[in-house]
Structure 1
């Protein structure tokens, strides 16, 4: 039944994309100066999780590389590479300059010096989840490196800009904003139909079942693909030659739970602590949350950083914030109602 499991992963980058022509064209126009050997404005891709930001960025850069032969490229997930050292290391790795770098002993400034000394092809770097960087000062470092051209991806502009110092904020004021909204049901059905066509046997699932998945996903492509993957695996394990509606219905909660587990696994150590405190309480105020957090870690972050962590957890539907200011309470996000 499953012919290509890679297609059923959310990070799969297709050779063609559905229902994001305007965003692809906008990003392509922004990057066009690279085809003339010039520097483009910095694109800033904004929108909720599961709206195709990462896919469109990588897809568009792949197309650009077909047009510009002399072009280096690196993708960095800043949720994983969130420290200054990790980010600089990943950028150097993209141009093959990490062989003699020791993660524990090489000074960060030496990594930056190497990037400054780079004098090769134009270097496009996608910084995904850029608001997760431990320190945004590294963005200022990148803006000072000739030949490095970042594409920034974040959920909300306000969360990103609230953490920037004036130097970086002024640089980003002129960036090209490209907004991604949640998908409609018909758009998700089209996306799922493509994944079925590329990754599964012909005719294994009907449009009614795909629409059921799309409605359950509520505009989030990651969720819809996760449900489809769960349903396909279950049908295959049962030895079925198609995916019946009963399997699809049972796959909805499991597909959502699997995605939530993955999101929890990628939290940074300090975010894990924050999530655990909220999970242990029915509800907790920001002040009580911060007090409990300080008791559990040796090197606590600031209150502002913890607020940013909570905002990120909320964006990924891991927690819910209710109330304003002193009346605010955090609690785990309730499971979304089934369609």
Structure 2
């Protein structure tokens, strides 16, 4: 039933951005100075996981490249240090001599970027919730011709943590908060994917609306549910997706998404996730979680580049796990109870689960 699996991947960028026209125009206005060979504006795109933050940035930048001589660099920042991010920017920037920066000390990376940039450069810092702590946003703001599109989940926390000297660059009209899609818009997005990636007449509009409703207006779960429902229908030797395929398709899709999300996270997230999972159905209280972390830290980090983190950083990582719907916990700060959303999902990092569950 699936004729083109690429249509259902994160890399697929549609020709038309449904449900985000106003946001696309807004971001285009922010970046417009680049059309006149000037530094583009900065922007913060925020919203829950799966609402199209990255797709919006990629779509607008693709259109901008048709009109202007600009460089755009896209970096996944999750779990990366300041040095990691700068090295990836330099590796992806076409005007940087690749032979220069590979052995360059971290302290010299930013000056190297400053020297290389001679035309407007827009850097997309995706999964940038932890960026403010690195100081990199402030540093990049000081580089001539470089502008930043930061993508995060929690804009209030991001703006509170970022250096006050650059807050105004990302707040107010520079901030694009994305809500979930309407059922009609999301069904249209799914119809677009179905036409490109499934056999003819594989699904009708009512089923697409049902998938959109199951996904609560979020594009990523909806697109993966469509793919998984098509797989389930194909496994049953049917040529069309039915309503009965939607719920099992959604469940299969969410398992896939959560597994992929967990794989993308740092070792710190994996350790905390497994400690939460070790609490079983009852979960684990915050005090017990921190005690357990301290107890296993030496053993679990032994032989790894990373080192144990303090409680404040742990709370940040736990919030990320909740954004990715891997764990859940109440908003109250005292005696929080952390629970794994799907305890059957295990960390793929070798040895983490065994140490955290003993």
Structure 1, gaps ≥5 residues long: none
For 1:302 and 1:172, the matched residues in 2 are separated by 28
SS of 1:14's partner is coil
For 2:171 and 2:132, the matched residues in 1 are separated by 21
For 1:27 and 1:7, the matched residues in 2 are separated by 25
Residue by residue over 1:5-64, the C-alpha shift from the partner in whole angstroms, topping out at 9 and shown as x without a partner, is 111113421111111111111111111111122223311111111111110110000000
Which stretch of structure 1 is more off in the superposition, 266-275 or 36-45?
A: 36-45
The equivalent of 2:349 in structure 1 is: none
SS of 2:18's partner is coil
> Is residue 296 from structure 1 mapped to residue 296 from structure 2 by the alignment?
yes
Q: Confirm or deny: 8 A CA contact 1:83 1:135 kept in the other structure.
A: no
The equivalent of 1:92 in structure 2 is: 90
SS of 1:331's partner is strand
Q: 1:225 aligns with which of 223, 226, 232?
A: 223
The equivalent of 1:54 in structure 2 is: 54
Q: Confirm or deny: 8 A CA contact 1:129 1:154 kept in the other structure.
A: yes
The equivalent of 2:333 in structure 1 is: 325
User: Closer, same or farther in 2 for the Cα pair 1:323/1:182, shift >3 Å?
Assistant: closer
The equivalent of 1:33 in structure 2 is: 33
Q: Confirm or deny: 8 A CA contact 1:42 1:150 kept in the other structure.
A: yes
Q: CA deviation at 1:238?
A: 4.9
Q: Confirm or deny: 8 A CA contact 1:41 1:175 kept in the other structure.
A: no
Q: CA deviation at 1:200?
A: 1.6
For 2:266 and 2:85, the matched residues in 1 are separated by 15
Q: Larger relative CO (CA 8 A, sep 6+): 1 or 2?
A: 1
Q: In angstroms, what is the RMSD of aligned CA positions? A: 2.2
> Is residue 19 from structure 1 mapped to residue 19 from structure 2 by the alignment?
yes
Q: CA deviation at 1:102?
A: 7.3
For 1:53 and 1:293, the matched residues in 2 are separated by 33
Q: Confirm or deny: 8 A CA contact 1:323 1:329 kept in the other structure.
A: no
The equivalent of 2:258 in structure 1 is: 260
Q: Confirm or deny: 8 A CA contact 1:10 1:226 kept in the other structure.
A: no
Which stretch of structure 1 is more off in the superposition, 89-98 or 190-199?
A: 89-98
For 2:106 and 2:148, the matched residues in 1 are separated by 20
SS of 1:197's partner is helix
SS of 1:100's partner is helix
User: Closer, same or farther in 2 for the Cα pair 1:259/1:220, shift >3 Å?
Assistant: same
User: Closer, same or farther in 2 for the Cα pair 1:231/1:153, shift >3 Å?
Assistant: same
SS of 2:44's partner is strand
Q: 2:192 aligns with which of 191, 194, 210?
A: 194
The equivalent of 1:109 in structure 2 is: 107
The equivalent of 2:278 in structure 1 is: 280
The equivalent of 1:6 in structure 2 is: 6
The number of residue pairs the alignment matches comes to 332
For 2:157 and 2:3, the matched residues in 1 are separated by 41
User: Closer, same or farther in 2 for the Cα pair 1:170/1:208, shift >3 Å?
Assistant: closer
User: Closer, same or farther in 2 for the Cα pair 1:33/1:159, shift >3 Å?
Assistant: same
Q: CA deviation at 1:278?
A: 0.7
The equivalent of 2:301 in structure 1 is: none
Which stretch of structure 1 is more off in the superposition, 92-101 or 202-211?
A: 92-101
User: Closer, same or farther in 2 for the Cα pair 1:318/1:98, shift >3 Å?
Assistant: farther
